[in-house]
Structure 1
């Protein structure tokens, strides 16, 4: 009888330890966006680089997961928010969206008007805050890598990034200003004023250097959230 009680006690202890371990491993940072996020999950992508930083810093309870779909705009994120974000109960959501809302105005004759972009973005933030899910906002990086102000859609990007920065202030959530970081790099490194090749392959999608830049800036932003890491 005594041996059975001992075995039962050991079983309970093992189950509790396993439950604790699993709970530690399920603290997820979810990246919500478009193709930049989707490609960020590939080898050498910024999500992989962030997961490497997590391991290097001994933060085994954290993991970065991507919820990016190529071609998505702000309203696509709103429509899949329930399934791809809220139902997963992440510890933090990092939103990087907007490039297609601007880019597709020229490339596809579509896009998203600025006022609609803001309304859908607010709707997403309202739902996240109602679910008590912390969020980090990222500015649109680039559509072309010529010096700032010399790319066809720079003015448009400035408008949409202005909306994102204002939402960061209004909702009191952290901002990762990837636009500023990108053009600091471009100003220093793009000596021929090329439209691609410094941080991107095509003016939009990140190359190896761009992925490292994004990973480093997002990591610094997350590290400044009190008590998160």
Structure 2
């Protein structure tokens, strides 16, 4: 008797997997929060559509979007239990950081890098412990469209380094959206990728989705213990 493999073709996922994405407006992407199944119109939806296409008629893994526009890392921590842990996902993708920088410049609201890193580290470590979930972290990015935004890198560069450290410390798969967007600047103007330098256009969202799929969607996802 032939037992059919439940892995989805060309991906490391099974139909029983639940992929949960959490973050700020870049993840939110206008999703309908009254509809649990809504994925918004951004990179999460692009990833889900690609995985569905690869499933060759099967259902494919479940995909949940829990992005909320305007969130900083502390907002994620406040809702982590209900929006992440309670859903029992098998893969958790986190994209956070740009609002922690942005609010410093438009509202004078500080998010010290060491506190930001400690909070993100807690979330990743707690998730790995509570769920044994596979972790994925997408780096923040900025494509300056104004002279003022050029100055944001004073805050964002060390914050991105903090994201990299927290991800590495917790064995998370890294998706370098910052490098992917920078590479895309060879073909597109900054405003074509993110009109305000932060929120991606459809092209920008597809670039993030492709970076996630390249790093995660066709590679083994094996949790690594903290060192």
TM-score, scaled relative to structure 2:
0.80
CA RMSD of aligned residues (A): 2.3
Using the TM superposition, give the Cα deviation of residue 126 of structure 1 relative to its aligned residue in structure 2, in angstroms. Answer: 1.5
Structure number, greater radius of gyration: 1
Using the TM superposition, give the Cα deviation of residue 90 of structure 1 relative to its aligned residue in structure 2, in angstroms. Answer: 0.5
Partner of 2:142: 142
Unaligned 5+ segments in structure 1 are: 1-23, 191-195
Among candidates 42, 45, 50, match of residue 45 of structure 1: 42
Using the TM superposition, give the Cα deviation of residue 146 of structure 1 relative to its aligned residue in structure 2, in angstroms. Answer: 7.0
Higher helix share: 1
Determine the C-alpha separation between the residues in 2 that align with 1:57 and 1:68. Answer: 24
1:179 aligned onto 2:169: no
Unaligned 5+ segments in structure 2 are: 1-13, 32-38, 223-227
Determine the C-alpha separation between the residues in 2 that align with 1:130 and 1:205. Answer: 32
Question: What are the equivalent positions in structure 2 for 1:1-229 lying under 5 Å apart?
Answer: 27-39=17-29, 41=31, 44-58=41-55, 60-131=59-130, 132-142=132-142, 144-145=144-145, 151-190=150-189, 196-226=190-220
1:40–1:177 distance in 2 versus 1, CA, 3 Å: farther
1:44–1:83 distance in 2 versus 1, CA, 3 Å: closer
Q: Alignment length, in residue pairs?
A: 199
Structure with more contact order per residue of length (Cα contacts < 8 Å, sep ≥ 6): 2
Determine the C-alpha separation between the residues in 2 that align with 1:61 and 1:189. Answer: 33
Using the TM superposition, give the Cα deviation of residue 224 of structure 1 relative to its aligned residue in structure 2, in angstroms. Answer: 4.6
